[in-house]
Each structure stands twice: as C-alpha cells, then as structure tokens.
Amino acid sequence: MKNRLFPSLALVMSLTLTACNNNNNNNNNNTNGISQQVPSGDTSQQEQSGYDRELVKFPENYDKGVNYTTVHRGNVREELYTSREAIEAVQNGQPFPDGTVITLEIYRDEVLDEIFVMEKRAGWGDQTPQGTPRNGDWQYQEFNADRSLDYEEDIGRCFTCHANQERDEYVNTLDEMKSYDLENFTGSKDNGTESQITGIPTDHWVVKEDSQDHLLGKSLIEDKEKAGIIQKVLLMIHFN
C-alpha cells in the first residue's frame, strides 16, 4: 500500500509545483489582466508628444520669398518670410493658398538662434492629436540655427499660441501682410538684382566744367537721357 501511495503523492506535488510556477509567470506578465510589456527602445519625441514631427520640412530658399515684416523684442529680432502668392491672397481677401509656408528667423543679440516654420496643407488638420487645439490645416516645426530639427521644442505651445488668432487664419502677422507693399519686393534681401545703371557705358559721358550750372538746377551731364537715368537710380537708392 505504501509503495503505491508514495508515487501518487509525488505526482500530485509535481503537478502542484508546475501550476504554481505557471501562475507566477502569468502574474509577472499581467497586472489586473493587462499585459505589462517592456518597451523595446526609447520612443521618439514625435511619439511622446502625439504630434507628427515629420510633416513640415525645412523650406529651402525661404529667404528668396517676401521678407514682409521685422519685429523687435528687446534683444530679439524676428524676420518673417512668406511667398508673394500668400500675400496677394491676403490682400485680395482670400484664404491662404494650399502649400503656404511662413518662416520666422529668430535672432538673439543679432545671432541667428532658431527658425520657426508653419505650413498649410489640405488635410493636415486631421493630423492634430485629439484633445489638442486644431489650427485649421496648419502644422508647425522648430529648427535650430543649423537647420537641424529641434526635438526639444514643445510644438504643442505653437498650436496653443496661434489658436488665439483664429479670426486671422491663425497667423499673428496678418495685418503686416495686408499692409505690405509688394511693389517693394525684389526677390530677397540678397537677391543681387542688377541696377538699372549697370551695363551703361560711361567712358564717353561728358561732364560740364561750369559748376554754376549745377547750382542753378541744371544737370552736369550733357545728355538729358543719361541724366534722367542717373536721377532715377539715385531716387531708387534713396527710397529703398
């Protein structure tokens, strides 16, 4: 009898220990029935914040656009750029065109520190995380001075700030766009636009010796056409 009892008892104990081990393993992997999975690696800033940081790319040659206003805040200077098409739409009472990009250079003590970009694309508003402000179809991005992506910047602050400008299509400088004179736009601050006087040969120009003519309001250049060209260029330089 004893010979039969001991093997049976050993089998029961073995099955009990196996069941306990399985329960312990399940408890380690589940808390209140929810699986506690260990992340395979660090999540990106994009995943942590909920915003898609890959939508807005750095706008190459943005400074060839319209530098429509400059804002001074103490030791901070801000230069704002956008396209001619965007300003024309605003001045004609139309919404910003699809694809509009507004770029903000931020200088601190005259040193470029950050470049802020906002861009409008159809359907981009759907990319805004639920429970956060949706600024139409605008999305935002922050870049360092070297044009690398600034993942440390909280893009959510951009949505919150611009949400207050809903009546102005979420743009803080809409009034500056409306008042900008596009006739002054030449391409960019470093566009190298050729002066109207460039290319005009001057070797044969004759200057009058009598300076009294100048004092009497007469041109020192004998050729009236050439004198008119010089006067026009000088006026352009003065007013620009």
The dihedral of CA 45, 50, 55, 56: what is its sign? Answer: negative
Single pTM value for the model: 0.60
The C-alpha R_g of the chain, in whole angstroms, comes to 35
Q: What pLDDT is stored for residue 53 in this prediction?
A: 86
User: Does 179 score more than 50 pLDDT?
Assistant: yes
End-to-end C-alpha distance for the chain, whole angstroms: 115
Binned at pLDDT 50, 70 and 90, residue 226 comes out as: low
| Per-residue pLDDT tens digits for 28-63 | 433 333 223 333 333 344 444 578 888 999 999 999
Please give the Cα distance from 66 to 184 (Å, whole number).
10
Q: What pLDDT is stored for residue 173 in this prediction?
A: 97
Q: What pLDDT is stored for residue 130 in this prediction?
A: 86
Distance, C-alpha 34 to centroid of its chain: 41
Q: Which domains does the chain have, with CATH numbers?
A: 62-184 (3.50.70.20), 194-240 (no CATH)
Q: What pLDDT is stored for residue 132 in this prediction?
A: 85
Burial letters 76-85, b for 16+ CB under 10 A, else e: ebbbbbbbee
| Per-residue pLDDT tens digits for 95-153 | 999 999 999 999 999 999 999 999 999 999 998 888 888 999 999 999 999 999 998 88
Q: What pLDDT is stored for residue 74 in this prediction?
A: 96
User: Does 185 score more than 60 pLDDT?
Assistant: yes
